[in-house]
Amino acid sequence: MTDPLHKSGPQPGFVVVLEQIPATAKFDKEVREQLLDVFRDAAEYWGDRKIAFRCFYSFL
């Protein structure tokens, strides 16, 4: 979530939209939290560099 975006050159910020994250037995709460942790880490990475990073998500 950081290296390919970093290589794209200077950016004012990023917006990520995750729509309809499944809520099934195979994709349980723990797995969903792991996925969202990736985006939390990316937000922290970009925040340390003073670049806006927002992630919006919804569940199925």
Please give the Cα distance from 51 to 13 (Å, whole number): 5
What is the pLDDT of the chain when averaged over all its residues?
87
Range of the domain at 12: 3-59
Q: What is the pTM of this model?
A: 0.75
pLDDT in tens, 36-60: 999 999 999 989 989 899 999 998 8
DSSP class of 12: S
Higher pLDDT, 9 or 51: 51
Average pLDDT over residues 4-16: 80
Q: Tell me which residue has tokens 């969903």.
A: 32
Q: What is the pLDDT of residue 19?
A: 93
Number of domains within the chain: 1
